[in-house]
Structure 1
Amino acid sequence: MRLIIQAAALISVIQAWGMFMHQRVVRRAGRPLIRYGPLFPREQERIQNLNYIYNCNDVEALWMLRMKRAAFAGLVETFRSRGLLQDSINTSVEEYFKQVLFAIGELRGEVIRIPSGQTPPKIRGSPRWYPYFKDCIGAIDGTHVTARVSRSQSAAYRGRKHYTSQNVLAAVDFDLKFTYVLAGWEGSAHDTNILTDSMSRPDGINIPDGKFYLGDAGYACRPGILPPFRKTRYHLNEFSGRNYPRTAQELFNLRHSSLRVTVERAFGALKNRFKILDQKPFHPYST
């Protein structure tokens, strides 16, 4: 009799459990399905893109990375060996972009070199410039780089360009190598104010005693900066054809301009290689 009672109780428990599970399935079937993002296809696409970068040739690498495969592999190995970057798939693009910028900044002592102080070979080997510019170590100028700022700040970042930008000060030597860069100033800021700020900083532009940079007419004549004569022909196209210099000031400006054009060539080469500098940025200005 006891066994019959226990068997009946077990059957009742099984029936109750079955009814509970059936009701649960019915309730879940009536709910809308929650579909998550296609993680696997996205991950598969990421792996395909990485394999394409790793296995591309130098022509494709220059198109995608603006550097050849060997240079890119060496840069990646430098970041890894020095602990500047680590492999990760759980970091957003914005966060990783900042990490890469920081890592590149840590290489500034190797990428940006300090002027040697010696007379550049370009000047020493030309009677047009030597000995008149024997103490010149390079040229400085500002260039505008597009910037994405809020509407309340757009007036300050909109200067002579029709778009919002930041005014970047740079110094280059006569090998088209950058020796100093200062970014962050508003596009409406004058070149002279940016230079003054740079020279007042502990880590600002360093001009050895007795040496100087060439600047355009937007800079004032001061120790370390040599601008051209004002209200006098200066640009190279003004001396084209038979428009030869007629005065000593014009001759000085012609030779000054033919040397200072180096910084314009450096900016042109930089923006031609890194097109993002002339395009609307997708990241905020603070980045």
Structure 2
Amino acid sequence: MPKGYFCKVNISNPATGAQKSFTIEDFRKYQTLHGLRMASEFDGAVLGDEYADCTFRITGGNDGQGFPMYQGVLKTQRARLLLKEGCKGCHFKRPGERRRRSVRGCIVGPDLHALSLVLVDSKGKTIEGLTDVTVPKRLLPKRASRIRKLFGLPSRKVDPKDQAIVCDLIREIGRQVTSKNGVTRTKYPKVQRVVTDEKYAKKHALLKARYEARERSKQQAVEYRALLQKLGRPCHLGKDARLTKEKFKKH
């Protein structure tokens, strides 16, 4: 076997959270996969009899030097693109900074050393390490709407009095943690975006404070103008009022 023509295939199953990897010794022999693009779907019989009748989707890969496949680059070689923060493999420090980075095209070729796949449809077939294993999620959702979706609760037009149920539910499924001092406590994520009566009151108080500040400012301006007129001093206009006055003078 020529050196450097192996390919590691990583398969993930989002339904169960399981992942599986195996190595293809000579990727040049898998001509059926060559020419497919990222996000393309194909029959798993190409990978072996174990994956026959299953549908897989290509999500990415790397070449021999580790350059990642980039969606939209329709070639099998590398390209130097001007990328910004948020693009694949770009972590810049300055805001708005852009740099040229080498990426590999999105078309599968014999030079790939890693190929990432996602199991789309197993057709009810049992695949060892993918469909017969369920990996629990390590982290629980934090957003209140997603917690309600997890437990099958309505997510729209929820009474604020029932919002506290979300906190109770997430507290029940939390995990027990024992500290070094021997104290056991329940660890669970802090629920975000919970709409309660306290939040409504806090928001109304903030809006009321803003309204009162505006009214107070207007009243102080009126009193100040009255004081200037009483003292016989000219009343200083604001910037907008001066611009409006100059505009009418020109006409």
1 or 2 for the larger relative contact order (CA 8 Å, sep ≥6)? 2
The TM-score normalised by the length of structure 2 is: 0.25
The TM-score normalised by the length of structure 1 is: 0.23
Flag the structure with higher strand content. Answer: 2
